[in-house]
Amino acid sequence: MVIIPTTLTDGHSQPVAIAGSAGQVPDGQDPDEPPLPRSSSSVVKEVKLDSKEKEKELDVKEFDDIGTASNSAIDVTSQDGWNHGFGGDPDTAHVFSANSVAKLLEVDPKHGLLTSKAKARLERDGANKIDGSGQVSIWEVLLRQVSNSLTIVLLIAMALSYGTLDFIEGAVISAVILLNIVLGLAAPSSQVFRNGALDTVKAESLVIGDIVQLKTGDVVPADLRLFESSNLEVDEALLTGESLAASKNADILLKPDISIGDRVNMVYSATTVTRGRAIGIVVATGMKTQVGSVAQLLRGQVNTQTSTNPFVRYFKKFINGMKSILGLIGTPMQVKLSKFAILLFGLAVLLALIVFSANKWELHNEVVLYGICVAVAVIPESLIAVMTITVAVGVKAMAAGNVVIRRMAALEAIGGVTNICSDKTGTLTQGKMVAHKVWVPGMGTLSVKDTVDFRDPDDGIVEIDGEQLDKLDFGSQGRIGVLRPVLDAIALCNFASVWRVQTPSDISPEKDMEMRGEWKSSGDPTEVALQVLAIRFDRGKESLLRDGNLVQIVEHQFDSSLKRMSMAYKHSVSGRVEVYAKGASESILPILNITSPSLQQKLQLKLEKLASEGLRVLCIASKTVLGNEEHKLGERAFMESGLEFKGLIGLYDPPRIESYEAVMKCHRAGIKVHMLTGDHLSTATAIALKVGILSPSTTTQYSVMAARDFDSLTDEEINALPTLPVVLARCSPTTKVRMVDALSRRKAFSVMTGDGVNDAPALKRAHVGIAMGINGTDVAKDASDMVLTDDNFASIVKAVEEGRRLFDNIQKFLMHLLISNIAQVVLLLIALAFKDKDGNSVFPLSPLEILWVNMITSSFLALGLGMEEAQADIMTRPPRNLHIGVFTWELICDKMLYGTWAGILCLISFVAVVYGKGHGNLGDSCNDGWNEDGSCETVFRARATVFALLSFILLVTAWEVKHFSRSLFNLDPKKFRPGIGIFKALAYNRFLLWAVVAGFLITFPVVYIPVVNKTVFKHRGIGWEWGVVIAGLVLYIAFIESWKAIKRRFGIWSGKVHSQGGSGDVRGMCRREVRGEVNR
């Protein structure tokens, strides 16, 4: 017999029958493979054929209306079921036969297109690429690969690694860069029929009408109307979100309004062939494909026509080029710093004008030199370079923490998150299902404990009601016989495969037991766990089907709306048919034939108990169908009714070991963690308690909520909730989007994780969207800002910590650079009052001295600050306000105080030398250089004093700004003991340590080397003036330490932590800070 599928619109899955007699395998199908699942939403009708009809290759197909459901499949004949031809719209290709589509597209399915016609169509429709751009040369592709911001940052990180003699990391980053370039240049290829022969062409060059051949493992290169198919299954999770592969059939015609997931005669671009082979006709390429339209919507792109006016095009290009040069294109922080640099440039011009005005615009050489000197002093020349390298270090640290940055803005923003919305499976948990408990009436509860390898049936300990079973004596256990119906059901109603890799031929029999290969699996994780449980008792599917007495005849696939599946097997000898079913408890219980009220009550109690332990509970049932009722199995309502209850199975996805500590770290950092999962409410609650998201002492009636209850609330009702739910169970994509919107309305800054195509809108809507790297779809990754390469929640917390460290370090080097600039400006502006004999202002620092301090001394110190490790209290502070940005009031106030004081001290040192031993002699034309009469002796010695003092002040400042409120002598009390521990604390950052040492040592050659000091830097060697330098340095340190003590004493800004009991009271402070904010 043969059972023909007919797709329905009622949402029920279809049965699938096997063509031929019992034990016969369909042509072209692997005997070891399970029967092919058909697409969802179908019913069947049996058609009996005689031997002659069988020779016609099963051309007869019948489709009937069943009940009130209308068929969405139509008769497959030489004519299309709709009385008109294919109109060229790819969205209607599933309605027409492949021959009709080929005829309209003017292609012979056997020979394919001619090369000339394919070339013409490529010019007409453009390349088969998602971005829709035209063709580019290999050099343009190479340039794009190496000129994007991430690759540039990686290049800097590579140089940084080699520069610090870290050759291993340098080599790894070099390999990553090379891989990026190679991947960018490498183009996927396709097998295409052209000019009557099978040829391999680049996927980008595919055109509408091409005949493409597909096989297992291929990525579908374009949208295809299938022409031929054999056992074809395609993973369409990218588009539909369904985890199971969809079965395809080229011969079926469908109605126009059927959904993409049910178009069984089509395959779509970027999906993957998981089984079988096929030939199809390209009906859409590039942005006209289904995945192209989704990507376009996610990116927010709007197809606009480029202006035909060349002047307008060049003007826009010029504007964009200027923005790029000025740094106004980039991440928000980069743009903000670029605007700040432009502001400083304007300030430099203003200060130069002040200098010129003070000299009554008599612009001779000395006045111009002084103006240039002041202008140079206000510009932090190394700001952008240090910023870029610091970000490179951040990217490098993120990559080491299994986080790939797709958008640089996320690197800056992640440190300010207030809420993290996370998936459960695979993120907070290990994503490795284990059949942990089995309950069967009359047997008790079987438990599988202490498993390490979830695929290994021999791993772990097996107990029944606490009594351990001997693995070698399973057969003799009396109660095991009661378990066998459950084991047979989960083994046969299952598509997963579990096997051990073959033992190498050279292994001796004595070593075979110890050295045989590891266990492998394929299929859905839930079904793998069930198959492993069955194999543990030697009741696996392969064992049960080995003798050929059982033959699968009908299957109703798993349906997400029904949450169950069923399969029927026939005994070839007795003719008896056994039906096995499994599914969610709420789906199976209504179709059970349970007459005992006590069993029903006991069953409900056991269900709740298993779910409360964090287990995903499946209900197992079966029934026997007599031979005269076999024809009714095609009706799902009959096959899935009157079932006998066999048992409950609790599947456990263990939490990751590191999840609890990661969640606790979030709580200490003032970050609220929400778990949004598709699991049962009890299961989600139990896991949330285990990983620390929920606490029994703080749980309220709003902490845990079912998605249907949350979705039923209006936005106003959600806003009125005292707090948003911490756990949302049975979530849909809409639920995630509404959660993100609700957080935004409460002024929270949220992170959302996701992996499926349905998660893409929420990832796009969140402030920072994080996709899964292992299980995530390309659409989810495209919508995200970051990608986790290990799908681990703990990596998100590491990213938050790295984001905070990056923000802190940017503030540190900004503080350092700006203190230097402010000191120089204060010094030079006040020094305008110092006039020589000719009435010209004498600058206390020469232009080259200023450039040396800014470019040599300060740059490496700022770079070292950018490499600072995270402070001990970095994850015990509340989240920062992202709206304030990097220029906080604390930074602004501190830089003005420290910079002004440093400038005053430099000015005092200049005055002390000139008006002390020098008796006020400012010489003659000392701005130009050394005079032979020696009149510039005093000025040159004073400049050297100022230069040395400013250099040493900047060296000390680099250590002082490591923490904005802690004393230099107690920078890290958790790591280093106060007092003598200062040396270890200062040496901890080796780069900064050597930058300070080098800055200190190089000061002396600059001051004392003949010719260099007088001619280049316009100063000379000093002696007693070192006392002035040391005195100024001590006064500078005393001022900073005093201000930090005031901040700690009165709880000002970062000193707030210390004012409330020191570092030991950080957690309490964070809790108070969080309670003070809007409830999230």
726-758 pLDDT, tens digit each? 999 878 788 999 999 999 999 999 999 988 777
Label residue 473 by pLDDT band (50, 70, 90). Answer: low
Query: 655 phi and psi, to 5 degrees?
Result: -60, 150
Residue 628's pLDDT is 83
369 vs 258 pLDDT, higher one: 258
- In this structure, are residues 4 and 61 in contact, taking their beta carbons and an 8 Å threshold? yes
What's the confidence (pLDDT) of residue 184?
A: 44
Buried/exposed 247-263: b ≥16 CB within 10 Å, e otherwise:
bbbbbbbbbeebeeebb
Q: Is the pLDDT of residue 1058 over 60?
A: no
Instruction: Find tokens 């002041």 and name the residue.
Output: 374
Confidence grade of residue 358 (pLDDT, cut at 50, 70, 90): confident
Strand stretches in 653-767, DSSP E = 672-676, 704-706, 727-729, 750-754
Is 262 catalytic? The answer is: no
Of 1048 and 59, the structure prediction assigns the larger pLDDT to 1048
Residue type, 327: G
| HSE-CB for 774 with a 13 A CA cutoff | 10
Per the CB < 8 A criterion, the answer to whether 230 and 249 are in contact is: no
**CA triple 943-860-893, angle to 5 deg:** 75
pLDDT of residue 6: 33
CA distance 210 to 269: 14
For residue 565, what are the β-bridge partners? 582
**Are residues 354 and 384 in contact, defined by beta-carbon separation less than 8 angstroms?**
no
Q: Which residues contact 1072 (CB under 8 A, 6 or more apart)?
A: none
Report whether pLDDT(176) > 80: no
Non-local CB neighbours of 455 within 8 Å, separated by 6+ positions: 498, 518, 519, 520, 521, 528, 532
Phi, psi of 768 (to 5 degrees): -135, 115
Q: What is the pLDDT of residue 190?
A: 85
- 2-7/211-215 β-pairing: unpaired
Rounded distance, CA 554 to CA 1021, Å? 98
Of 235, 262, 423, 755, the active-site residue reads: 423
Give the strand pairing for 644-652 and 672-676: unpaired
Q: Where are the alpha helices (DSSP H) in 969-1076?
A: 982-987, 990-1008, 1025-1050, 1056-1059, 1066-1076
Q: Which residues of 392-411 are buried (b: 16+ CB within 10 A; e: fewer)?
A: bbbbbbbbebbbbbbbbbbb
String of DSSP letters for 183-223: HHH---EEEEEETTEEEEEEGGG--TT-EEEEETTPBP-SE
Segment 177-233, tens digit of pLDDT? 565 555 444 456 788 999 988 888 888 899 999 999 998 778 899 999 999 988 788
Res. 940: pLDDT tops 90: yes
> What is the β-pairing status of strands 42-47 and 2-7?
antiparallel
pTM score > 0.75 for this model?
A: no
Mean pLDDT of 960-979: 87
Q: State residue 524 phi and psi, 5-degree precision.
A: -65, 135
Query: Which positions ≥6 away from 549 have C-beta within 8 Å?
Result: 571, 572, 573
Helix (H) or strand (E) holding 580: strand 577-584
For 163-182, what is the mean pLDDT?
52
Q: Are 465 and 471 in contact (CB under 8 A)?
A: no
Give the integer Cα–Cα distance in Å for 320 and 817. 29
CA distances (Å), origin 805, targets 337, 802, 844, 865, 973: 18, 5, 38, 11, 18
Extended strands (E) in 310-423? 403-405, 419-422
